[in-house]
Chains A and B, each alone.
Chain A
């Protein structure tokens, strides 16, 4: 199977026009020693039917919510996706178009991106939003780098330990080659929120920013007022990180708390879990910082006839112009994913977004209540939460082992990231977990399975 349309006579005609004998002559200038060892040791091509079959075999070996009860969150969530989303992002005009460098023939992508930027500003309560970054984790890393550009003389970063562990890992990777940046981890208190007293005592005039999950990795909704106060007292920047973007339809948005930079993962907004990617990183901030932002921006303008149009703007921050002095090396925007989010938010609308967020809150609270009451599990934190919560389970490991073949995944064991929470499980309940599944979850712990 191949995607090259050339027939034998096509090739002959073209070779003749070029004036060479064979295709090999076109690369005869490459050293012989390289050419003779370039053969690809892979099986020959197969038919479309065979491709489908082989992919189907692999797919069948994965568990999905269709055949499993999953109570898994931790940064990737199983949410409802209206059919409008795939209908639009499957359109070749969007899926197979190039980066909109030629605005005259890219107004579709550009306007949709402008709408995305607006929607995310509305959702986060922030003033500006870029066109998108790779994922939530690299968005945090970029946010810290941006904070450093704004606060050049400061070197200390306060990072909540309750921020997603993989996000903290990516921040550490991005910062490992930046000289002199010190990361201080902020512990949590019994509510599961970042320890306000620790923040107040640790924050100083060398602190460039504090980074917190909102909600954090344990699902707990942070009260951001103490962090904002500490930032005000010392001139540091407040950076919020939201892995569950849908929560912002219900929670007080970062902008209202006074966040300087608000970032997160957008997968919840219309993208399938897809083993964790592709989703997109959203990146919003105060307008005064726009010139230090990473990534692309779409702006509104007019054409020669005065008609509304959209273009990529402030490109002078970017790598293709400023090269080694660019604000970031990024040149992708996860465009098709932010389009999915745009269609998702437009389809859900003002009332739908809130309603679905409320369903999450209701189901998760009901499930937690029942697990405490009926299964006698122990709560770990008493802070308010959105759709995830942490419970302590006796003999957690053997139990998870027993469940491996049962196709019920009651949550995420926290031990791998938090040794101090070795017996703890992070349970996520979304609108996609039906009542029967919650019954099944409870039975898993009561042993009445």
Chain B
């Protein structure tokens, strides 16, 4: 039985699942209380038997299991994450401390309003802060993530278009866009028309003019785009779209480049979402939770989701009476715990700190770009903002691909950059350092990249077979997809086999 053998510290020891540990009858939970049998209170045909194969572990066993699992992860506090378009910045500890206050953590969303005034004030203020940073008039905090923000924003556009008499049919999406943009468009009942960016890495007004017509509800643009390049024609593009009564949606995923530098609201953007788990420092958590607030210009206010947080005579209120609203996109009031972290972040930094944040994000990205330029092919020579995109063109000739470079970086102790995205750049290596990294870290990261470029020339096999020092080697992803094992079953158990 596994519990009796000493746990090996070697990461290469066979890893056990929760279900392969413990012993029948063991528990980490104690709550002595004599209870009537549930059969006396609920008809037995509505009751279940015990939960087959559910874990039975002691408290230390549970903690040790998950602590050891945590050691198999990379994280911001352990390593540098140069992930492009992901904005993996430091997640301040004070934010974690304040959301654990009882008055933040243990409040019920359906409590009488007098019992949640502090929370509503926070949300009310945060709406205004985000509107100010982005140059928008109103903000809703309800969307639970960036993609839900996109869907919400498109629904607002559709509601506005419908009110003008025609919801229209199409959304224009540049070929550099995140995959969520076209997926959200479809979900909102729109067809997607892809618009190519030019070979210098941005969208030209002329290209938009060619596809813009009265069937187009909106253009969905990311700025800076996923090449890290500021869309320099954005204002004239917006004019072209507006001239046909279309709207401009901005994916604010890269807002970390713009705070205090340029406001989307002044570029002609009518709707945008921002990702609080990127620009506003809330933790990624290994894939959420996040939050995707949506900002709009004044003429779209009436369509915003309900409830709306309003200031009344007796305090803050939840306004439900907005007949033109698109309705609810999420239960309750959004991911409050995440919104509160972002609020603490904005309080701490203030307007000046946010501006410095974007400036240092640009400085770090440009520094990396300069150091790597002699060794890697730069996808575009246009000035970069908060991230830069290289390719594997030089290394390809030696038989080394972006994937190999990424995996080799793991051996150097660095998480790889975003790779093979944007899709329109072959073998893309997209690097976003964020503002919270020191120049020393950028030096050691770029040194590693330079060393790998050298290895690609001198010992390509070393690069091609990487990683060599991670908890597992390259995984058989094809095998996982061919024969799906999506849950543990007793018959497959290591424990029963061993």
A300 to B192, CA, bound (A): 35
Residues facing A in B384-427 (CB within 8 A) are 385, 406-407, 410, 415-416, 421
A393 at interface by CB-CB < 8 Å: no
Q: Chain A residues with Cβ under 8 A from B129's Cβ?
A: 42
Q: Chain B residues with Cβ under 8 A from A6's Cβ?
A: 360, 363, 438-439
Pick from A2, A357, A384: contact of B356, CB below 8 A.
A2
B448 at interface by CB-CB < 8 Å: no
- A118 in contact with B19 (CB, 8 Å): yes
What 0/1 readout, one digit per residue, does chain A (388-399) give for beta carbons within 8 Å of chain B?
000000000000
A151 at interface by CB-CB < 8 Å: no
Q: Chain B residues with Cβ under 8 A from A145's Cβ?
A: 187
Q: Chain B residues with Cβ under 8 A from A204's Cβ?
A: none
Rounded to whole Å, the gap between the CB of A302 and the closest CB of chain B is: 6
Closest to A126 in B: B487
What 0/1 readout, one digit per residue, does chain A (29-44) give for beta carbons within 8 Å of chain B?
1110111011111111
Known A14-B363, A104-B474, A170-B330: A332·B290 in contact at CB below 8 Å? yes
Known A46-B347, A299-B486: A95·B415 in contact at CB below 8 Å? no
B65 at interface by CB-CB < 8 Å: yes
Q: Chain B residues with Cβ under 8 A from A316's Cβ?
A: 481
A256 to B51, CA, bound (A): 12
A180 to B190, CA, bound (A): 15
Rounded to whole Å, the gap between the CB of B432 and the closest CB of chain A is: 12
Pick from B31, B103, B106, B118: contact of A431, CB below 8 A.
B31
A405 to B407, CA, bound (A): 61
Q: Chain A residues with Cβ under 8 A from B146's Cβ?
A: 331-332
Closest to B306 in A: A169
Rounded to whole Å, the gap between the CB of A74 and the closest CB of chain B is: 5
- B284 in contact with A99 (CB, 8 Å): yes
- A41 in contact with B69 (CB, 8 Å): no
Closest to B109 in A: A276
- B109 in contact with A275 (CB, 8 Å): yes
Pick from A37, A117, A274: contact of B104, CB below 8 A.
A274
A364 to B150, CA, bound (A): 41
- A18 in contact with B370 (CB, 8 Å): yes
Known A60-B118, A91-B67, A324-B183: A137·B31 in contact at CB below 8 Å? no
What 0/1 readout, one digit per residue, does chain A (84-101) give for beta carbons within 8 Å of chain B?
101110111111111110
A328 at interface by CB-CB < 8 Å: yes
- A297 in contact with B46 (CB, 8 Å): no
Residues facing A in B176-192 (CB within 8 A) are 178-180, 182-189, 191-192
A172 to B62, CA, bound (A): 41
Residues facing A in B136-150 (CB within 8 A) are 144-148, 150
Supply 14 A–B pairs (Cβ within 8 Å), ascending by A. Answer: A30-B262, A31-B262, A72-B108, A92-B76, A104-B474, A105-B471, A118-B17, A170-B329, A324-B186, A335-B288, A346-B55, A346-B65, A348-B27, A404-B112
Rounded to whole Å, the gap between the CB of B249 and the closest CB of chain A is: 14
Q: Chain B residues with Cβ under 8 A from A325's Cβ?
A: 186
- A353 in contact with B331 (CB, 8 Å): no
Rounded to whole Å, the gap between the CB of A79 and the closest CB of chain B is: 11
- A18 in contact with B289 (CB, 8 Å): no
Rounded to whole Å, the gap between the CB of A153 and the closest CB of chain B is: 19
Pick from B57, B88, B180, B488: contact of A98, CB below 8 A.
B88
Residues facing B in A396-413 (CB within 8 A) are 400, 404-405, 407, 409, 412
Range for the number of chain A residues in contact with chain B: 35 or more
A422 to B367, CA, bound (A): 65
Rounded to whole Å, the gap between the CB of A113 and the closest CB of chain B is: 8
Residues facing B in A243-257 (CB within 8 A) are 248-253, 256
Q: Chain B residues with Cβ under 8 A from A11's Cβ?
A: 363
- A333 in contact with B288 (CB, 8 Å): yes
- A100 in contact with B287 (CB, 8 Å): yes
Pick from A127, A170, A336: contact of B328, CB below 8 A.
A170
Pick from B112, B118, B364, B371: contact of A400, CB below 8 A.
B112
Pick from A46, A109, A313, A329: contact of B184, CB below 8 A.
A329
Give the interface centre of A43, A55, A354, A356 by most chain B CB atoms within 10 Å: A55
Q: Chain A residues with Cβ under 8 A from B108's Cβ?
A: 70, 72, 76, 78, 273, 275-276, 409
Q: Pick out which of these stretches binds chain A: B207-215, B336-344, B452-460.
A: B336-344
Q: Chain A residues with Cβ under 8 A from B484's Cβ?
A: 290, 299, 313-314
Known A23-B362, A107-B72: A95·B283 in contact at CB below 8 Å? yes
Known A118-B487, A277-B330: A303·B474 in contact at CB below 8 Å? yes
Pick from B22, B144, B259: contact of A138, CB below 8 A.
B144
